[in-house]
Structures are given as C-alpha cells and as structure tokens.
Amino acid sequence: MEKVVLKAVRRDVIGKQVKVLRHEGKLPAVVYGHHLAPLPILLDAREAGKTLTGLAPSTLVTIEVEGKSYPTLVREKQRNQILGSLIHVDFLAVSMEEKLRADVMVAIAGVSLAVKDFNGILVQELNTLEVECLPQDLPEKVVVDISGLSQIGDTIYVRDINLSERIKILDDADTVIVSVTAQAAEEVVEEVVPVEPEVVEKGKKEEGEEEAEE
C-alpha cells in the first residue's frame, strides 16, 4: 500500500474565524482518538483535496505536524454543498500496535458467464466489508472474482472470501456479497382491438317504388 502523507500546521483559529482561513486556501481539520486530545490543524486545501479525492476509507493517512507523525484514517469529510470542495476533515489517529475495525471497499473483478451467456443480472449486496486487523495490514480493497458465477442463482458469500490470516472479517459468514439473478419476464399485454358496431343502412327505394298513401 502506497504511503499517503499530508503536512499540516497547528491551528489556533476556531469558530467563525475559520472562514477567513478557507479564503486563504487553507483547509481546517482535526486529528483525534487513541489517547490523543483533539488536535486542530490546517492543511493546504489544494493538496489535501487532490490527495483525499477517491481515497479508500481503509487507506492510512499520515499527518505530519511539527515534526510528529500521526497515522490516521479519514473519518469524515465535509464539503461545500454548492461547489463540492472540502471545508473540513476529521482524522482518527490509530496505534500501529493495536488492532482496529474498519470498512474496506469491495471491488468486483472478472466476467460472469451467467451474465455473459444467460443474460443474468449481477446484484451486488455489499459494497464494503468490516474487518479487524492491525493498521498496517488494512487492505485498500477486497477483490471479489465473479468469474465462477456460471449459472443463474450462483452466489458469493462472505464465507467464500479468503484474506490474510492477519485480517478477520466481521460480517456474518452467510451474508451475500454478490449474486446473479434472472431478468424479470416481460409482461405480455394483449392488444384489444375495439369492435365497431355493425351499421345496417336502410336500403334505397327501388326506382318507381311509391310510398303507400295514407
């Protein structure tokens, strides 16, 4: 796993005054957890935005502040509702000697013959797996190979996933991760053709036919 490092400085400004810092290209954040008092920090907004975009939730991020390094996990990212830019980040400090629990993304790989040859529909029930391990053993993602799903109804369960013995999956073993289902049968609607009422026209009088006199 590639090491992700962000340099920061301590932040003394809090409350409404933080808005001024954002205009100066700074991103307010806080590091907390594991016997650490909350540490307000400032990051370079452009650098942090580029680094944290698309980052897996299980990726360790090292925050360097005044010569100290804090291994962390991103716990919350707040964004501007209009611009979508980051306005605040919470980092959870972790100990490299203690196991932690974290959600790891599930990545689908391979081609299912049930989908390719039988027009099945691939249904992914889980997008993340909860695991327990030391921080350095956290995978960025769990790859699930679907090439073995060859028939409609084939399923991959949590119990089918094999990870390092150093990583424990906490989700129930019988939980479905991904399966293949049949496409819903199209409802056949019979077209009803309206029947026009038969119109009986009164015949014309024969030439020379006279109406009866009263």
* 104 & 158 share domain: yes
Asked if 157 and 127 sit in the same domain, the reply is yes
The answer as to whether 59 is a domain residue is yes
Judged against a pLDDT cut of 70, whether residue 76 lies above it is answered with yes
The whole-angstrom distance between residue 207's C-alpha and the CA centroid of its chain comes to 87
Task: Answer yes or no: do 35 and 69 share one domain.
Answer: yes
Residue 208 lies in a domain: no
What the block records as the tokens of 87 is 């306005």
Q: Are residues 88 and 108 in the same domain?
A: no
* CATH number for 137: 2.170.120.20
Mean pLDDT within 136-147: 95
Which pLDDT score is estimated for 189? 54
Identify whether residues 114 and 155 lie together within a single domain: yes
Same domain (yes/no): 129, 151 = yes
Same domain for 108 and 86?
no
Half-sphere exposure of 28 (CA within 13 A, CB side): 19
Report pLDDT for 184: 77
Domain end, chosen from 50, 69, 93, is at 93
pLDDT at 99: 95
Q: Are residues 53 and 13 in the same domain?
A: yes
In this prediction, residue 135 carries a pLDDT of 94
Q: What is the pLDDT of residues 150-176, one digit of tens each?
A: 999 999 999 999 999 999 999 999 999
Same domain, 128 and 76: no
Residue 35 included in any domain: yes
Query: Which pLDDT belongs to residue 205?
Result: 47
pLDDT band at 136 (very low <50, low <70, confident <90, very high): very high
Spatial separation of the C-alpha atoms in residues 138 and 135, rounded to whole Å: 5
CATH (domain of 81): 2.40.240.10
Same domain flag for 50 and 81 = yes
Q: pLDDT over 70 for what percent of the chain?
A: 85
Residue 169's contacts (CB-CB under 8 Å, 6 or more residues apart) are 129, 130, 131, 158, 161, 163
User: By mean pLDDT, which of 103-107, 150-154, 191-195 is the weakest?
Assistant: 191-195
pTM, to two decimals: 0.75
Would you state the pLDDT for residue 206? 45
183-194 as b/e, with b when 16 or more CB fall inside 10 Å?
eeeeeeeeeeee
pLDDT given at position 212: 43
On whether the CB atoms of residues 115 and 180 are closer than 8 A, the answer is: yes
Q: Would 203 be classed as within a structural domain?
A: no
Asked if residue 192 belongs to a domain, the reply is no
Q: Does 115 fall in a domain?
A: yes
Residue 51: which domain range?
4-93
Same domain, 22 and 82: yes
What confidence category does residue 13 fall into, taking pLDDT thresholds of 50, 70 and 90? confident
162 and 108 together in one domain: yes
- CB-based contact 17:24 (threshold 8 Å): no
